[in-house]
Copies of this chain bind each other. A is one copy, B any other.
Amino acid sequence: MTAPAATDPIDYKLDDQVGFVMRRANQRHLALFASLIPELTPTQFAALAKLCELGEISQNALGRATAMDAATIKGVVDRLRRKGFVADKPDPTDQRRLLLKPTAAAWAAYDRLLPRAQEITASTLAPLTEGERAVFLLLLRKLT
């Protein structure tokens, strides 16, 4: 019996590995995002959205809410501030914290971009049927 078993290492194909396929699916999504919302990156939009969802919040807390570490959220917030979307002030009750708040421009941008964000989600999932989308999101969320 020389036939390879089901788990034979020989059967490894890069193109079948979750990580590789997920990276490619993500690339497609990023491209869709860039074409529908050119003025903001997905990460920047995520931070903007959470900032509007949550209101006043410290920088690190915003990072946790958007799944970015302290170093990453700093750069993102810096760029959002440069675009006029973030107002900050020291937290009076904790000298370490930097309190962030969405500006009026942030709310305007959020309201304006929300429909586009929904389009992006829809286009990303477009290759799937209605039922498949629900299943996919359910399983994807399990991998988190």
Interface, chain A (partner B; CB < 8 A):
7, 9, 12-14, 16-29, 33, 42, 46, 49-50, 53, 66-67, 114-115, 117-118, 120-121, 124-125, 127-128, 132, 135-137, 139-144
Q: With A12-B118, A24-B144, A128-B139 given, can you name 6 additional A-B contacts, CB distance below 8 Å? A: A12-B49, A14-B50, A18-B140, A21-B137, A22-B25, A128-B142
Tell me, rounded to whole Å, the shortest Cβ–Cβ distance linking A41 to chain B: 11
> A132's closest neighbor in chain B, by CB?
B139
Interface SS of A by simple majority:
helix
On whether A143 and B118 interact (CB within 8 A), knowing A18-B29, A19-B42, A46-B20, the answer reads no
Would you call B120 and A19 a contact (CB within 8 A)?
yes
Contact A135 B137 (CB under 8 A): no
With both beta carbons as reference points, the residue of chain B lying nearest to A11 in the complex is identified as B118
Q: Which residues of B contact A50 (CB under 8 A)?
A: 14
Q: Are B114 and A9 in contact (CB under 8 A)?
A: yes
Min CB distance, A110 to chain B, in Å? 9
> Considering the chains assembled together, what is the distance between the CA atoms of A136 and B137 in angstroms?
9
